[in-house]
Amino acid sequence: MELEQLLKVMTPEVYQRITTAVEIGKWPDGTPLTQEQRDSAMQAVMIYQSRHNTDAEHMSVEAGGEIKFKSKAELKRDFGVPEPDDIARFDHSQL
């Protein structure tokens, strides 16, 4: 199947299955990916992300093909980690 054909028929569910397969090295039925399958699946994931990923995770390919890295502050906000209210400050002589 040509890459363009694959991307036209790839649903978000199929994308997620392929992404999981690349991450764990196995297809949903437990069959291990060959190196060639893993390389092709990874390429398909990256191209799909470059066309559809408008909310990039910590490090992924955003829509438009740019690699997106999120800062710790952005990740904490995304995961709902509250900001500390106060920061304890001490003079050197108090330590």
- Residue 34's domain comprises 3-78
CA-CA distance, 17 to 31, in Å (whole number)?
13
CA 81 to chain centre: 20
In a domain, 47, yes or no: yes
In a domain, 86, yes or no: no
Number of domains composing the chain: 1
Angle at 14 between CA 6 and CA 23, to 5 degrees: 105
In a domain, 93, yes or no: no
In a domain, 89, yes or no: no
- What is the rounded (10 degree) CA torsion for 33, 2, 59, 24? -10
**What would the pLDDT profile of 40-77 be if each residue is shown by its tens digit?**
888 888 888 888 776 656 666 777 777 777 777 776 77
In a domain, 90, yes or no: no
pLDDT of residue 1: 59
- pLDDT exceeds cutoff 90 at 34: yes
